[in-house]
Structure 1
Amino acid sequence: MHSVCVTGAGGFVASWVVKELLAKGYIVHGTVRDPDDEKKNGHLKKLEHANERLHLFKADMLDYAGLCIAIDGCTGVIHVATPVPAGKVTNPQPEMLEPAITGTRNVMNACLKSKVNKVLVVSSMTAIFVNPSWPKDRPMDENCWSDAEFCKKNEKWYCASKVISEREALEFGKKNNLNVVTICPAMVFGPMLQSTICTTNTILLNLFKGKNSFNLGELDKPEEDIPIPIVDVRDCAKALLLAYEKPEAEGSPCGLNEELNYTCEKIMKLGWSHRSLEETLVDSVKNMKEAGLLS
């Protein structure tokens, strides 16, 4: 029975990845900051098969030794976690950029040390679309990268952290003969497994309440109305498992909407399909009502 380590296991996307892995018979090693924090991680212990096959390890992305312990004995790793500072960011380079890059480096080195067979790195659409020089009529695919220097110059720190981390991970894989695949999801909405509301669903909840709290500061032209590609968290988790399990998955599959000039051709060829936005919104409303977030 194969073991897979999921970093940041208690998070919105990662929780669904853990659920999918357990349902498919994997042993799951999940890294969390505090395995005894029931508010943040108790939902993981309630998942089906968690008692038999889920093991939580205390480690964050800046804890190389802890990551080595969590990854040891695993066949593969799905790296979902991104260090996010609590509260308002006052010094973005050391608070956002450097921890994300260092965290990915630590995961890669721990994977190499443990001789895992495959590493799936969860990047973001923001690693793709902040590229002022990309031809407007050419679909954005794995050949399109956000301009890291442009991002830093314009204080798009999340974009910068994602594009630098993803590129480094792929280069690390090539240099060390480590099978590294990256995937770039769109904005993730959908029902939550955890009890605390995540960042993206906070945006959705506010929209339901008539308040627009989209933070468009990371986009090229935040003053304009622009389409935002969206993916359901359940479809995102399935895309990650496809990219992890399929031997033909390589490079950087994009999990975005081709109608917005992003292509998701590579992940579609692996057998991925997605539900409608209406289903995502309906299920999100039901989930928020059950959680007492909507009256």
Structure 2
Amino acid sequence: MGIGGGGKADAVSYYTASGIAAIINFPLWKASAIGQSGFQLASTTTLHPSFPPALPPYLSRYLAAMAPPYKGVFATWAGMCWARATIFYGSERGKELLRQRYGVTGAWAGALPALVTSTFVQLCNMPIIRATITVQNPASPYRNTTEALRAIYEKGGVKGLWLGTSAGIMKTVPKYMTAVVVKDKMEEWLDPVPENADNARSLLVQRSAVKAVTAGLAGAVLTNPLDVVRNECFKREQSLGPTLRGLVEEEGARFLWRGMGKNVVAVTIPVAATIFLADMISRARGL
């Protein structure tokens, strides 16, 4: 007999875990948004005179992008917190429903609920996503998310608030479907921890960590190009088609891996942290 399999979905565990992950991740998300949007930073020396001069330029730019000011931090945190938790919790509950009531098994049991919940979340969050990314531009005249939302609405109306929705759905839905399916598969593939093992607690932590990191990494790598396209839609204020054509004409295939390193970190950490912490919190609560 072993332990380590997935238990019943628990909303408290997922929302708590997602909130913690969103706090940890904000500076990484900020750096990723700046890199993928092609925003130009001021001199890292001007921004951060304490940076050691021996740092490689890439690392200096990355640290500069992560550093304050943190505009839109609360809106970003709230959006990430409810969105990520809703996707993972909704996917777990949906999987249970499909299996118990309709006999759906295999990858589809996890993928279909992830498709529905991540699409719903993306549609709800789109104005906040656009505004919070807009204020990360060091040249942005907006002091906060509210000012950015007001300016976007005044310029483009309701349609402007949801500009880039198709690219956002193309980016978010596959990412979370991939993460959910990989998480479920890792749950099946990883050996359960023997109940009588002397180091059972340590093995459970390692098992959850492997599952979580693998799921987060898979989602981040596969959807990086879609992140770039979505952010460019915001910057150019164009729909998906013109934005994609412009990227191909200007950068060729290079845009596919633009900001990949930052995105892998910015996406893998919150997704992995949410999965891992939800496991740990759920076990601590005896579920």
Q: TM-score, normalised by structure 2?
A: 0.31
Higher percent of residues as strand: 1
Q: TM-score, normalised by structure 1?
A: 0.30
Higher percent of residues as helix: 2
